[in-house]
Amino acid sequence: MYSILKHTHMTFILLAIIVYILRFYWLKSGHANAQKAVYKKIHLHTHLTIIVLGILLMVTVPWVPSLDVGGAWLLEKLIAFVAYFAMVQVSLKEETKPNIQWLAFIGAFGWLAYIAKLAFTKQAILLVG
């Protein structure tokens, strides 16, 4: 069960990244699909599915996102996901200045790299102390 959940989780992460890059490209190139509701919904639902699968993985494996149980890395990962999601939202708003959109686009991938590092090493960086 764990293996299926993990691979499905990773597949939806890849799908969300591809849809994000595509939507950002469409926004920057002025494509008609940039602000279509169907692509916004697909992108939102991939993120929601990632969250649900992550919660199912936490239930399957007894990791508790608290500091005293050794799950500080998981709490950091959740916080980093919120930061990533905020960057995605900023970068895909048409009202945002282009320089800020690019900064948020690059920042979102920085948060993704940080999330991947936490997922592979399972060691907290910021909440250690």
pLDDT digits (tens, 9 = 90+) for 62-97: 766 665 556 788 888 889 999 999 999 999 998 889
Number of domains in the chain: 2
Spacing of C-alpha 71 from chain mean position: 19
Q: Which of 16, 32, 62 is the last residue of a domain?
A: 62
Q: Which two tokens stand for residue 102?
A: 């690019």
Q: Which two tokens stand for residue 65?
A: 């996102």
The boundaries of the domain holding residue 122 are: 66-129
Q: How confident is the model at residue 101 (pLDDT cuts 50, 70, 90)?
A: very high
| Res 68: pLDDT | 55
Q: How confident is the model at residue 34 (pLDDT cuts 50, 70, 90)?
A: confident
Distance CA 46, CA 63 (A): 23
Q: Which of 41, 62, 83 is the last residue of a domain?
A: 62
Contacts 24+ apart (CB under 8 A), 68-72: 72/124, 72/127, 72/128
